[in-house]
Amino acid sequence: MVGIIIILIMSWLLLWIVEQKNLSVLGFTPTKNRLGTFCVGFFMAGLLCTIYHSIKVVAVHNLWMLNPKLSGANLINSTWWIIKSVLFEELLFRGVLLYIVVEKLGSRWGCLLSAGAFGVYHWFSYGAFGNPIQMLMILWMTGLFGWVLAKAYVVTKSLYLPIAFHLGWNVVNILVFSNGPLDAQLLVRANDNQAQGLVSLLIFLFQMLALPLFGYLYIRKYGHKSP
């Protein structure tokens, strides 16, 4: 939480020095439209993540079961950790820095630079630095996702939609299906079967492309509706 507060303070100072504006440019004020896009984005991301894990289950003949060791306190702490991590990353990569770059260089360069920085950041958060193949895969996957998140901010002029996409995926992926840095959460797999060959490739492509594709289509639809 301290990190989020520091980012907000630094963002306000930077924005005031460079643009003489305040944090309202991030679209924090809740409106009916913004709350609506948040709900759509969160549901879309959560649904696609559920489909992704369901495909994995069917492909390897696996089942999920409730984690008998999960406590209510652990569930609350894990949810709060996910929320904080999403807010931290969104404020850092889709916040004031993106706004300033878009103002100076345009939305195309802003989104590309934000996506690249988001991908490089995950080299370190995933512990992949030094492994070229893994670094390239992470850059491509998280960079593509980061580009859609940046595009969502640019089109909607608010952080609500990028936060919704990011939070929806992470909540389902980490909290529900225990696929992340928090170890076993709500559901655990009954065995360790792994997809192989073409099936593994197709599952990987779905994981990489599904949310960016459907997210982009929704952003385009939103953009066409906006005045």
Where are the strands (E) in the chain, listed by range?
A: 64-66, 187-189
In this prediction, residue 49 has a pLDDT band, given cuts at 50, 70 and 90, of very high
pLDDT at 181: 86
Q: Which amino acid is at 182?
A: L
pLDDT at 227: 44
Question: Which pTM does this prediction carry?
Answer: 0.92
The label of the residue with tokens 């509706």 reads 225
pLDDT digits (tens, 9 = 90+) for 188-201: 887 777 777 788 88
- List the domain boundaries for the chain: 48-54+70-225
Residues in the chain: 227
pLDDT digits (tens, 9 = 90+) for 52-104: 998 888 887 778 889 988 888 889 999 999 999 999 999 999 999 999 999 99
Q: In angstroms, rounded to a whole number, what is the distance separating the alpha carbons of residues 211 and 206?
A: 8
Q: Which amino acid is at 126?
A: Y
CA distances in angstroms from 96 to 70, 77, 82, 200, 204, listed in the order given: 38, 28, 21, 38, 32
Q: In angstroms, rounded to a whole number, what is the distance separating the alpha carbons of residues 98 and 145?
A: 15
pLDDT at 192: 75
What value does the mean pLDDT take over residues 24-33?
Answer: 92
The phi and psi torsions of 66 (rounded to 5 degrees) equal -65, 140
* Partner residues linked to 187 by β-bridges: 66
